[in-house]
Amino acid sequence: MNRRDAIKNATLLLGGVLSASAISGVMAGCKAEPKGSGWAPKFFTAEEGSTLEAIVDRIIPKTDTPGAKDAGVHNFIDQLMAEFYQDKDKAAFRDGLKAIEAEAKSAHGKSFAALKPEEQDAVLTKFDAEAYAEGRKPEDPPHFFKTMKELTVLGFCTSEVGATEFLKYDPVPGAYHGCIPYSEVGAAWATS
């Protein structure tokens, strides 16, 4: 069932009326899922955008299910940077991307996006270890790569692709069953 049908059915069930603006608001969500490369970032430069896209693709890679890039997580992070984060957070995130780019060039002589997946993973492993290193205090500002992972996981699990093709999502469950075999669900629920 597509979203328009789902909404229509819900409305019919109710015998209620949905305003045109409510429907167009919900329907707009169907289109907000740009995929693949060649995207035009709102906040990042084109170069930063391609680095970001390559990073999220390694944090949650495509396997037999879609990955973060398929879900447009880079668009989501770009959106947050453009409209949500404050200047100092934006600067920290940008510096992080620069550091990854610099590491890629010094270790492998190429831009991060142009590296092989194994090389990309080697670069990211270094930053991951740094982000979770002992000696970081809770009051320290979060490490860039931790923010990157958080946003990738958040963006992926709350995306339509991540929620419906990787996790389980049911917009209108209709009932609560409190103790069923896990095999009947088969994946973690996307929403609680």
Partner 1 sequence: MSNINGKWQQDSTYDAIVIGSGISGGIAAKELSEKGLKTLVLERGRMVKHIEDYPTMNMAPWDLPNRGRVSQAEIDKHYQKQNRTGYTVNEGHKHWFVKDDEHPYTEVKRFDWMRGYHVGGRSIVWGRQSYRFSDLDFEANAKEGIGVDWPIRYADIAPWYDYIEEFIGVSGSNEGLPQLPDGKFQPAMEMNCLETDLKAKVESKFKDRKITMGRTAHITQATEAQKKLGRGNCQFRNLCMRGCPFGGYYSSNAGGLKAAELTGNMTLRPNSIVHSIIYDEKTGKAKGVKILDAETKQEMEFYSKIVFVCASAFNSTWILMNSVSSRFPNGMGNESDQLGRNVMDHHFKAGASGKSDDFGDRYYSGRRANGIYIPRFRNVDAKTKRSDFLRGYGYQGGGSRTGWQSLVAELGFGKAMKEEMHEPGQWRMGLTGFGEMLPYEDNRITLNKDVLDMYGMPTLTMDVEIKENELAMRKDMVASAVEMLEAAGLKDVKGNDDVYGPGLGIHEMGTARMGKDPKTSVLNKWNQVHGAPNVFVTDGACMTSAACVNPSLTYMALTARAADFAVKELNKGNI
Q: Per CB under 8 A, does 150 bind partner 1? A: yes
Per CB under 8 A, the segment of 42-50, 56-64, 97-105, 107-115 that binds partner 1 is: 56-64
Q: Which of 39, 44, 49, 59 binds partner 1 (CB under 8 A)?
A: 59
| CB of 1 or CB of 179, closer to partner 1 | 179
Q: Does 83 bind partner 1 (CB under 8 A)?
A: yes
Taking CB under 8 A as the criterion, the residue among 76, 93, 112, 144 binding partner 1 is 76
Looking at residues 16 to 35 of the shown chain, list those that interact with partner 1 (rule: CB under 8 A). 16-19, 21-22, 25-26, 28-29, 32-33
Question: Cα 101 vs. chain centroid, distance in angstroms?
Answer: 20
Q: How far is the CB of 107 from partner 1 (least distance, A)?
A: 18
- Alpha carbons 116 and 133: distance in angstroms, whole number: 26
Q: Is 15 in the site for partner 1 (CB under 8 A)?
A: yes
Residues 96-135 that bind partner 1 (CB under 8 A): 121, 124, 128-129, 132
Find the helix packing angle between 144-157 and 46-59, rounded to 10°.
70
Of 86, 99, 87, whose CA–CA distance to 131 is shortest?
A: 99
Residue 191 main-chain phi, psi, to 5 deg: -125, 150
Binding flag, residue 175, partner 1 (CB under 8 A): yes
Nearest-approach distance from CB 161 to partner 1, in angstroms: 9
User: What type of residue is 31?
Assistant: K
With binding defined as CB under 8 A, does residue 44 bind partner 1? no
# residues contacting partner 1 (CB under 8 A): 74
Element (H, E) at 121: helix 117-131
Residue 111 CA to residue 144 CA, distance in Å, equals: 19
Among residues 120, 149, 144, 115, the alpha carbon closest in space to that of 130 is found at 144
